Amino acid sequence: MSHPTNARLALYAGGELGPWARFRVARHLPRCLQCRGEVDEFRRLREFLEGERGELPAGVDWSELAAKVTVNVRRGLAASQRAGEPAWERFGMPWRAPALALPVLLVVVAGWILQSLPPPLRPLPAPGAGLSPVVLDAGPAGIGLERDGRGFRLLHPRAEEVVFSVRGESVRSRYVDGETGQVTISHVYAE
Amino acid sequence: MSMRSNLALALAVALAGWAQAPRPANSVKVDFPGDSPVTVVSADWGESRTEARGGALVLDLRTSLSLRNASPRRIRGVTLLVRAQEVTPGGKASLSAPSLDVKPGETFPIRIDLRLLRPLLAGAGPLAEVTLDGVLFDDLSFYGPNRLNSRRAMTVWELEARRDRRYLKSILEARGEEGLRQQMLETLARLADRPQLDVQVSRGRATTMGAQERNVEFAFLHMPDAPIQPLSGLARVAGGEARSPRIQVINRSDRAVRYFEIGWVIRDRGGREYLAGSVPASEGGLRLAPGARSEVAEEAALRFSRQPGQPVAIDGMTAFVSQVEFADGSYWIPSRAALADPRLRDLVAPSVEEQRLADLYRKRGLAALVGELKKF
């Protein structure tokens, strides 16, 4: 469990924290005996000082003094936070978030552009110029066609009683669809 | 770094990821013609996902299109064309739903399970486009651009469906429900026991063939009423790979033929046979007059394996005529009697409709099957 700093507890005890910080400290206190004790201590000290106010030297503007103390406490708090931050944040580099977002945005845009460009990445040779042979096949994995690492296949996942055959330069499968009971005949052709 | 900075960074990274990962609904464009008799009611992309693998992106696009029959006729089949030009130049595929019976105004689903593999960074446009290639109606009329010749394929499936429904109805009449049950059990057993191979087709590939390569001649299964008769044929074979099959045929009918397909069976050294597929005649331009001869040929190399890495050593090959389209637009398909040949029965898979009806019997019982047969 991480504890609020003493400065933050002191500001909380004096009712001088912002709404979000106040909410977070208030959420922490019921679960932490130690911090509750610190806050009680700050409150007692504050009450003591309030009580002693009348006995201190006259001519002191207590409101002005309290404001100065508050400003100093805030400055100290900010300085302590900066000490734990990376150098670029301490020197005030507000472009960190855009710097992170920009490469991601570039990836998205590049993907979008590349997808809209015409294929192929690996150009197919012109007909008659070393064209790879078309291979058709028929088997338990369906009937299909493949050429140069590309291809397609007609599957029959719910098929029963599959019959394969070759007809000229095409392959054929025939089966009954297990769900509909309908016979389907599929062909793959080599053009 | 403060919590605020962390949050900003996380948000930016998430944004970058979002910018790179394609959304399923944007990855596939579903585009049907304005006058299409089939309209898209909805597309559910619920199970789609994206995954980066090395320098590639894998998109598993799982959708169920809900389509409506906006025509006044019953729909028997639909074929969708799937193009993935952005991913694989020249790559196209199709999905067909045959054996339908969709009344006007009814909706029906078509599921598309497509996996795309593409470089991590690619264009922003749709990766695949789904369009309509054709719709077949109950009167065998057709709508669609027919870029994949889906009219012929769907018509043949529908003719096979009618043939097999007639056959099953005749069993029901002659042997009752018990006879129909026996037939369905045989069909299910054929589907389960049918030998299956994995296959790779390489187009233009420098194959592994070399000194071991040899010519293997086709043997032919005689189909008594087939309008086309195979005369001779051979393919280059080495180990588990066959390439460049060539088959000479003659038109024995009195009508001109514009298309035919030859079924291709391979036999391994243990004597086990597998239906490898079919060799189609070239699309367009063929007009085989009565008595004329022609040749079908493929330049692709086919590699067969039982499992990945276990090639099938090809020892022999057999061929048979599997379908013929005449110049007048009519078709020939093998009769049930021809398919009852013991070798063909074990090799050729049940038709699309027989497979559907067998599945219906397995899941919903004999009463549901009888009810389905009575609908037609």
Contact B280, B263 (CB under 8 A): no
The number of domains in chain A is 2
Domains of chain B: 25-137 (2.60.40), 156-191+355-374 (no CATH), 198-348 (2.60.40)
Query: pLDDT per residue over A5-39, tens digit each?
Result: 888 888 888 888 888 888 988 989 988 888 888 88
> Is A50 within a domain?
yes
Return the residue in B160, B203, B205, B286 with the most chain A beta carbons within 10 A, the one to mutate for interface testing: B203
Query: pLDDT per residue over A55-101, tens digit each?
Result: 555 666 667 767 777 777 777 666 666 655 555 555 556 667 778 88
Q: Give the residue with greater pLDDT, B66 vs A190.
A: B66
CATH number of the domain at A59, please: 1.10.10
User: Has residue A53 got a pLDDT over 60?
Assistant: no
pTM above 0.80, yes or no: no
According to the model, what pLDDT value does residue B329 have? Answer: 92
> Is A98 within a domain?
no
Cross-chain Cβ contact A186/B93 below 8 Å? yes
Cross-chain Cβ contact B115/A111 below 8 Å? no
According to the model, what pLDDT value does residue A31 have? Answer: 87
> Is A72 within a domain?
yes
Cross-chain Cβ contact B197/A100 below 8 Å? no
Residue whose structure tokens are 């000290």: A45
Quote ipTM for the complex.
Answer: 0.86
> Is A1 within a domain?
no
Report the run of H or E that residue B347 belongs to, with start and end. helix B342-347
Q: Minimal Cα–Cα distance from A78 to chain B, Å?
A: 19
According to the model, what pLDDT value does residue B121 have? Answer: 59
The reply to whether A156 and A82 lie within a common domain is no
Q: Is B129 exposed, middle or buried (0-12, 13-18, 19+ CB in 10 A)?
A: middle
Chain A stretch 142-161, residues whose beta carbon is closer than 8 A to a beta carbon of chain B: 142-147, 149-158, 160-161
The reply to whether A17 and A77 lie within a common domain is yes
The reply to whether A80 and A148 lie within a common domain is no
The reply to whether A80 and A140 lie within a common domain is no
Angle among Cα B61, A152, B87 to the nearest 5 degrees reads 95
The reply to whether A24 and A82 lie within a common domain is yes
CA dist A33 → A1, A9, A29, A41, B246 (Å): 12, 13, 7, 12, 97
The reply to whether A19 and A86 lie within a common domain is yes
The reply to whether A85 and A142 lie within a common domain is no
CA dist B235 → B227, B243, B246 (Å): 24, 6, 6
Query: Which residues in chain A are contacts of B7 at CB distance < 8 A?
Result: none
> Is A44 within a domain?
yes
CA distance B168 to B183: 8
According to the model, what pLDDT value does residue A126 have? Answer: 46
Q: Which of A111, A184, A191 sits opposite B16 (nearest CB)?
A: A111
Query: pLDDT per residue over A99-131, tens digit each?
Result: 888 888 888 888 777 665 544 434 444 444 455
State the maximum Cα–Cα separation within chain B, in Å, rounded to a whole number: 89
The reply to whether A85 and A16 lie within a common domain is yes
According to the model, what pLDDT value does residue B253 have? Answer: 96
Query: Which residues in chain B are contacts of A154 at CB distance < 8 A?
Result: 82, 93, 95, 112-115
Residues of chain B with pLDDT under 70: 1-26, 86-87, 89-90, 119-125, 204-211, 308
At residue B338, φ and ψ (nearest 5 deg) are -65, -35
* Domain region containing A185: 135-189
According to the model, what pLDDT value does residue B298 have? Answer: 84
CA distance B321 to B270: 25
